[in-house]
Structure 1
Amino acid sequence: MQAVKSGDTVRVHYHGRLTNGTTFDSSEGRQPLEFKVGAGMVIKGFDNGVLEMKVGDKKTVNIPVGEAYGPKNEEMVMDFPKSNLPADLNPEVGMELQMSNPQGQVFPVKVVGVSDEFITLDANHPLAGEDLVFDIELVEIV
């Protein structure tokens, strides 16, 4: 039976959770995730986790921060003047917003603080700084 190698396109079902058991994503009830192994389409630890699996195999992969979304970068936490917000926006901690950089790229940010004059925004990936655990089932090597 063929084992997964770099360059293969695979389909997997997965259940992703934090080390405390909190689920952050799952393919349950959806089509399997399809990606090309080694092409950078998924985080490094997930990519490496499917190597050598055979169709029907199930395994649990523990992915450290460095092979997931990396550590939190404090330079990506910034204060933004409330006076630059749309008048009808009432920011609250936990709210997710979209910003754009000078090149026009849009990226998500999360409100992590609100004061009289500023809101504090975090542009880190929501899973940055987290070790991750994935239960993976290899459905198909395409």
Structure 2
Amino acid sequence: MTDVVQHDSAVLVHFTLTLEDGSLAESTKDGGKPALFRLGDGSLSPALEEQLLGLSVGDNKAFSLAPEAGFGPANPDLIQYFSRREFVDAGEPEVGMIIAFTGMDGNEMPGIIREVNGDSVTVDFNHPLAGQTVNFTIDVLAINPQQEAMNADSVG
């Protein structure tokens, strides 16, 4: 059993993510279901992984990540303009709607409608938190929880 979070750890956490203005962006505590982060798999930013390293079960930590260290800066190239006619199948476009678009590679990409002006619809494909400083509060519940369960099963 690992006592502290390491570079290849899986970490079960509750987290709350707020923006600079204090507004809530996401919280696992609301739904009561913790999140499993896997360090080293590329799903977390290096800066977020760095904040988790060395933590133990029961630890809680609050920290902020600048846009470059969190969800990245907003990229103006990811803002696209469409004709309103292209939304016939999706219904009337409204500001704030999130719509799945099919990319050139066939994968779906979510886009947020930022503006509807006459026949023009502005869609933002940036991550919704891109360009924002985010504040995390993390509570460590378990380290390598599946491995511990597998080890316990194999002992008996």
Q: Which residue of 1 aligns with 2:71?
A: 69
Cα separation, 1, equivalents of 2:107 and 2:118: 28
TM-score, length basis structure 2 = 0.84
Cα separation, 2, equivalents of 1:108 and 1:79: 14
Larger Rg: 2
Q: How many Å apart are 1:88 and its aligned residue?
A: 6.7
* Pairing 1:2-21 to 2, within 5 Å after superposition: 2-21=3-22
Provide structure 1 residue ranges, at least 5 long, that are not aligned to the other structure.
none
Q: Runs of 4+ in structure 1 displaced over 2 angstroms?
A: 41-46
Distance 1:65 1:83, change over 3 A: same
Report the count of equivalent residues.
Answer: 142
Please tell me the root mean square deviation across aligned C-alpha atoms, in Å: 1.6
Question: Which of 131, 134, 139 does residue 132 from structure 1 map onto?
Answer: 134
Provide structure 2 residue ranges, at least 5 long, that are not aligned to the other structure.
145-156
Q: How many Å apart are 1:138 and its aligned residue?
A: 0.8
Q: Which region of structure 1 is more displaced relative to structure 2, 51-60 or 32-41?
A: 32-41
Distance 1:125 1:33, change over 3 A: same
* Pairing 1:1-142 to 2, within 5 Å after superposition: 2-28=3-29, 29-86=31-88, 89-142=91-144
More helix by share: 2
Contact 2:87 2:93 in 1 (8 A): no
Distance 1:118 1:34, change over 3 A: same
